[in-house]
Protein backbone atom coordinates (compact mmCIF):
# COMPACT_ATOMS: atom_id res chain seq x y z
CA UNK A 1 0.00 0.00 0.00
CA UNK A 2 1.34 3.43 -0.96
CA UNK A 3 1.83 5.92 1.84
CA UNK A 4 -0.13 9.16 1.62
CA UNK A 5 2.93 11.39 1.38
CA UNK A 6 0.89 14.54 0.83
CA UNK A 7 -0.97 13.89 4.07
CA UNK A 8 2.27 13.11 5.91
CA UNK A 9 3.76 16.35 4.59
CA UNK A 10 0.82 18.34 5.95
CA UNK A 11 1.12 16.57 9.32
CA UNK A 12 4.85 17.38 9.42
CA UNK A 13 4.16 21.08 8.82
CA UNK A 14 1.21 21.28 11.24
CA UNK A 15 2.59 19.05 13.98
CA UNK A 16 6.36 19.62 13.90
CA UNK A 17 6.99 22.96 12.23
CA UNK A 18 4.14 25.38 13.03
CA UNK A 19 4.30 24.28 16.67
CA UNK A 20 7.88 25.60 16.96
CA UNK A 21 7.07 29.21 16.00
CA UNK A 22 7.73 28.86 12.29
CA UNK A 23 5.30 31.40 10.82
CA UNK A 24 6.87 32.40 7.48
CA UNK A 25 4.20 31.64 4.88
CA UNK A 26 6.66 31.26 1.96
CA UNK A 27 8.66 28.77 4.04
CA UNK A 28 5.58 26.81 5.12
CA UNK A 29 4.44 26.69 1.49
CA UNK A 30 7.88 25.42 0.44
CA UNK A 31 7.82 22.68 3.08
CA UNK A 32 4.33 21.66 1.92
CA UNK A 33 5.38 21.49 -1.72
CA UNK A 34 8.78 19.72 -1.66
CA UNK A 35 8.38 15.91 -1.66
CA UNK A 36 10.79 14.98 1.16
CA UNK A 37 10.25 11.27 0.46
CA UNK A 38 12.01 11.61 -2.91
CA UNK A 39 15.25 12.64 -1.17
CA UNK A 40 15.62 9.62 1.15
CA UNK A 41 16.75 6.06 0.32
CA UNK A 42 13.94 3.96 -1.16
CA UNK A 43 13.80 1.64 1.85
CA UNK A 44 13.24 4.61 4.18
CA UNK A 45 10.60 6.54 2.24
CA UNK A 46 7.94 5.69 4.82
CA UNK A 47 10.10 7.41 7.47
CA UNK A 48 10.64 10.60 5.45
CA UNK A 49 8.41 12.74 7.67
CA UNK A 50 9.36 11.54 11.16
CA UNK A 51 10.51 14.12 13.71
CA UNK A 52 14.14 13.09 13.96
CA UNK A 53 17.29 13.23 11.84
CA UNK A 54 17.06 10.62 9.08
CA UNK A 55 20.13 8.75 7.86
CA UNK A 56 20.65 9.10 4.09
CA UNK A 57 24.16 7.58 3.94
CA UNK A 58 26.61 6.24 6.55
CA UNK A 59 27.18 9.13 8.96
CA UNK A 60 25.06 11.57 6.94
CA UNK A 61 21.59 12.75 7.81
CA UNK A 62 18.63 14.74 6.61
CA UNK A 63 18.08 17.31 9.36
CA UNK A 64 14.95 16.94 11.49
CA UNK A 65 12.17 19.13 10.03
CA UNK A 66 11.63 21.47 13.00
CA UNK A 67 15.19 22.74 13.56
CA UNK A 68 15.74 22.88 9.80
CA UNK A 69 12.66 25.07 9.34
CA UNK A 70 13.57 27.32 12.29
CA UNK A 71 17.09 27.85 10.92
CA UNK A 72 15.78 28.67 7.44
CA UNK A 73 13.26 31.12 8.90
CA UNK A 74 16.06 32.87 10.82
CA UNK A 75 18.04 33.23 7.58
CA UNK A 76 15.33 35.60 6.31
CA UNK A 77 15.91 34.54 2.69
CA UNK A 78 14.62 37.02 0.12
CA UNK A 79 13.44 36.20 -3.44
CA UNK A 80 16.61 37.62 -5.01
CA UNK A 81 19.09 36.03 -2.60
CA UNK A 82 21.98 33.81 -3.70
CA UNK A 83 22.36 30.95 -1.20
CA UNK A 84 25.12 28.42 -0.48
CA UNK A 85 23.81 25.18 1.04
CA UNK A 86 26.76 23.44 2.73
CA UNK A 87 26.33 19.69 3.16
CA UNK A 88 23.35 19.48 0.82
CA UNK A 89 23.24 15.68 0.97
CA UNK A 90 20.59 14.37 -1.42
CA UNK A 91 19.32 17.89 -2.16
CA UNK A 92 16.19 18.24 -0.01
CA UNK A 93 17.39 21.35 1.79
CA UNK A 94 18.44 22.97 -1.49
CA UNK A 95 15.01 22.23 -2.99
CA UNK A 96 13.29 24.00 -0.08
CA UNK A 97 15.74 26.93 -0.22
CA UNK A 98 15.20 27.29 -3.98
CA UNK A 99 11.53 28.06 -3.31
CA UNK A 100 12.60 31.10 -1.26
CA UNK A 101 15.79 32.33 -2.93
CA UNK A 102 16.81 33.48 -6.39
CA UNK A 103 19.29 30.63 -6.81
CA UNK A 104 21.09 28.03 -4.70
CA UNK A 105 24.51 26.40 -4.85
CA UNK A 106 24.23 22.95 -3.23
CA UNK A 107 27.68 21.90 -1.99
CA UNK A 108 28.30 18.23 -1.24
CA UNK A 109 31.59 16.36 -0.74
CA UNK A 110 30.25 12.80 -1.04
CA UNK A 111 30.13 11.99 -4.79
CA UNK A 112 27.30 9.47 -4.37
CA UNK A 113 25.12 11.95 -2.49
CA UNK A 114 25.96 14.71 -4.98
CA UNK A 115 24.93 12.45 -7.88
CA UNK A 116 21.67 11.58 -6.12
CA UNK A 117 20.99 15.27 -5.47
CA UNK A 118 21.66 16.15 -9.10
CA UNK A 119 19.39 13.37 -10.32
CA UNK A 120 16.44 14.10 -8.01
CA UNK A 121 16.59 17.89 -8.32
CA UNK A 122 16.73 17.64 -12.13
CA UNK A 123 13.88 15.12 -12.26
CA UNK A 124 11.68 17.34 -10.08
CA UNK A 125 12.49 20.50 -12.02
CA UNK A 126 14.43 22.46 -9.40
CA UNK A 127 16.39 24.29 -12.07
CA UNK A 128 17.62 27.18 -9.91
CA UNK A 129 19.84 24.78 -7.91
CA UNK A 130 23.41 24.03 -9.01
CA UNK A 131 24.92 20.93 -7.36
CA UNK A 132 28.70 21.20 -6.89
CA UNK A 133 31.26 18.87 -5.30
CA UNK A 134 34.04 19.76 -2.91
CA UNK A 135 35.12 19.72 0.74
CA UNK A 136 32.33 21.21 2.84
CA UNK A 137 34.63 23.21 5.11
CA UNK A 138 36.06 25.10 2.10
CA UNK A 139 32.70 26.41 0.95
CA UNK A 140 32.48 27.18 -2.75
CA UNK A 141 34.54 30.29 -3.50
CA UNK A 142 34.13 29.97 -7.28
CA UNK A 143 30.58 31.32 -7.04
CA UNK A 144 31.02 33.64 -4.02
CA UNK A 145 29.92 35.97 -2.58
CA UNK A 146 26.60 34.73 -1.16
CA UNK A 147 23.73 36.49 0.59
CA UNK A 148 23.13 33.47 2.82
CA UNK A 149 25.20 30.41 3.78
CA UNK A 150 23.53 27.54 5.65
CA UNK A 151 25.30 24.54 7.20
CA UNK A 152 23.17 21.40 7.14
CA UNK A 153 24.45 19.84 10.36
CA UNK A 154 26.31 20.57 13.57
CA UNK A 155 29.94 21.76 13.47
CA UNK A 156 32.62 22.42 16.09
CA UNK A 157 33.73 25.68 14.53
CA UNK A 158 33.26 27.70 11.36
CA UNK A 159 36.26 28.09 9.04
CA UNK A 160 37.16 31.71 8.17
CA UNK A 161 36.88 30.73 4.49
CA UNK A 162 33.10 30.59 4.84
CA UNK A 163 32.84 34.10 6.29
CA UNK A 164 35.06 35.31 3.42
CA UNK A 165 32.38 34.07 1.00
CA UNK A 166 29.59 36.22 2.48
CA UNK A 167 28.43 39.44 0.87
CA UNK A 168 28.34 42.62 2.94
CA UNK A 169 25.11 42.22 4.93
CA UNK A 170 25.18 38.46 4.32
CA UNK A 171 24.06 35.88 6.90
CA UNK A 172 25.60 32.57 7.88
CA UNK A 173 23.63 30.11 10.00
CA UNK A 174 25.11 27.09 11.72
CA UNK A 175 24.55 24.72 14.62
CA UNK A 176 27.69 24.86 16.75
CA UNK A 177 28.61 22.34 19.40
CA UNK A 178 27.69 18.76 20.30
CA UNK A 179 24.38 17.10 21.10
CA UNK A 180 21.98 18.87 23.43
CA UNK A 181 24.50 21.60 24.25
CA UNK A 182 24.68 22.78 20.62
CA UNK A 183 23.35 26.23 19.68
CA UNK A 184 22.10 27.71 16.46
CA UNK A 185 24.08 30.86 15.74
CA UNK A 186 23.30 33.63 13.29
CA UNK A 187 26.33 35.49 11.89
CA UNK A 188 25.97 38.76 10.00
CA UNK A 189 28.77 40.31 7.99
CA UNK A 190 29.11 44.10 8.02
CA UNK A 191 32.09 45.34 6.06
CA UNK A 192 35.06 43.32 7.24
CA UNK A 193 33.57 42.37 10.62
CA UNK A 194 31.18 39.58 11.55
CA UNK A 195 28.76 39.71 14.48
CA UNK A 196 27.10 36.66 16.03
CA UNK A 197 24.05 35.95 18.12
CA UNK A 198 22.77 32.77 19.69
CA UNK A 199 19.25 31.84 18.57
CA UNK A 200 18.19 28.54 20.20
CA UNK A 201 19.37 25.08 21.25
CA UNK A 202 19.32 22.36 18.60
CA UNK A 203 20.58 18.79 18.79
CA UNK A 204 21.31 17.77 15.19
CA UNK A 205 23.75 15.32 13.65
CA UNK A 206 27.25 16.60 12.80
CA UNK A 207 28.58 17.51 9.38
CA UNK A 208 31.92 15.88 8.48
CA UNK A 209 35.08 17.92 8.10
CA UNK A 210 34.55 20.69 10.66
CA UNK A 211 36.72 19.55 13.58
CA UNK A 212 38.19 22.59 15.27
CA UNK A 213 41.62 20.98 15.66
CA UNK A 214 43.28 18.48 13.35
CA UNK A 215 43.67 15.03 14.87
CA UNK A 216 46.66 12.83 14.19
CA UNK A 217 46.54 9.07 14.08
CA UNK A 218 49.61 6.90 14.57
pLDDT tens profile 34-75: 999 999 999 999 999 999 999 999 999 999 999 999 999 999
Sorting pLDDT into bands at 50, 70 and 90, what band is 217?
Answer: low
Whole-angstrom Cα distance, residue 206 to residue 6?
29
What percent of the chain is modeled with pLDDT above 70?
Answer: 96
> What pLDDT was estimated at residue 212?
62
pLDDT for 181 equals 85
What is the tens place of the pLDDT at every residue in 88-141?
Answer: 999 999 999 999 999 999 999 999 999 999 999 999 999 999 999 999 999 999
Residue 176, strand partner residues: 155, 183
* pLDDT on residue 3: 76
pLDDT of amino acid 18: 95
Mean pLDDT for 174-183 is 91
Tell me the pLDDT of the chain averaged across its residues. 94
- Residue 99's closest CA among 126, 61, 124? 126
Amino acid sequence: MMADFSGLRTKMVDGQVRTTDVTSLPLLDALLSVPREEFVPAARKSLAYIDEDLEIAPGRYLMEPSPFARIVQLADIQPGDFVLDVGAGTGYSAAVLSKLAGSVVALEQDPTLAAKAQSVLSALGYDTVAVVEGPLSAGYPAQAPYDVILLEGAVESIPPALFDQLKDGGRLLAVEGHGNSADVRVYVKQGSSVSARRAFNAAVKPLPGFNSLPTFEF
